A = this chain, B = another copy of it.
Amino acid sequence: MAGNSFGQAFKITTFGESHGKGIGVIIDGCPSRIPLMEEDFIGEMARRRPGRTHFDTPRVELDQVEIFSGVFEGFTTGTPIALLIRNDDVKSEPYEILRELFRPGHADYTYFKKYGHFDFRGGGRSSARETAARVAAGVVAQKVVALSDIVVVAYTREMGGIRAKDIDLEAINTNPFYCPDVAVIDKMKETVLSAKEEGDSIGGIVEIRVTGCPAGLGEPVFDKLSADLAKAVMSVGAVKGVEIGAGFETARLKGSENNDPITPTGFKTNNAGGILGGISNGDDIILRAAVKPIPSIMIDQDTIDREGRPDRLRLTGRFDTSAVPRIVPVLEAMVKLVLADHYLRAKSNGSNQERGC
Cα separation A3 to B113 with both chains bound (whole Å):
29
Does A193 touch B at the CB level, under 8 Å?
A: no
Whether B301 pairs with A259 at a CB distance below 8 angstroms is yes
Given A104-B261, A195-B254, A203-B251, CB of A72 within 8 Å of CB of B119: yes
Q: How far is the CB of A132 from chain B (nearest CB, A)?
A: 12
Q: Is the CB of B240 within 8 A of A250?
A: yes
Considering the chains assembled together, what is the distance between the CA atoms of A205 and B230 in angstroms?
Answer: 17
At the interface, yes or no: A17 with Cβ under 8 Å from chain B? yes
A345 close to B (CB within 8 Å): yes
In the docked arrangement, what's the CA distance between A78 and B275, Å? 18
- Residues of chain B within 8 A of A3, CB atoms compared: 28, 219-224
CA distance A242 to B251 in the complex (A): 12
Q: Does A57 contact B (CB under 8 A)?
A: no
A117 and B243 contact, CB distance less than 8 A: no
Residues of B with C-beta under 8 A to A226: 234-235, 240
Chain A contact surface mostly: mixed
Interface centre among A102, A204, A221, by most chain B C-beta atoms within 10 angstroms, is A221
A208 proximal to B (CB < 8 A): no
A79 interface residue (CB < 8 Å to B): yes
Q: Is the CB of A348 within 8 A of B351?
A: no
- Across chains A and B, which 7 residue pairs bring their CB atoms closest together, nearest first? A107-B277, A31-B350, A3-B223, A3-B219, A241-B243, A201-B255, A110-B279
Of listed A9, A15, A219, residue having the most chain B CB within 10 A = A15
Q: Is the CB of A294 within 8 A of B248?
A: no
A4 near B220 with CB under 8 A, answer yes
Q: Contact at A251–B205, with CB atoms within 8 Å?
A: yes
Which residues in chain A, 87-111, are within 8 Å of chain B measured between CB atoms? 102, 104-107, 109-111
A77 touches B125 (CB 8 A): yes
Q: Which residue of B lies closest to A345 (CB)?
A: B1
CB distance from A86 to the nearest CB of B (A): 10
Which residues of B lie under 8 Å from residue A303 when comparing CB positions? Answer: 261-262
Q: Report the minimum CB–CB distance from A112 to chain B (whole Å).
A: 9
| Chain B proximity of A163: nearest CB distance (Å) | 10
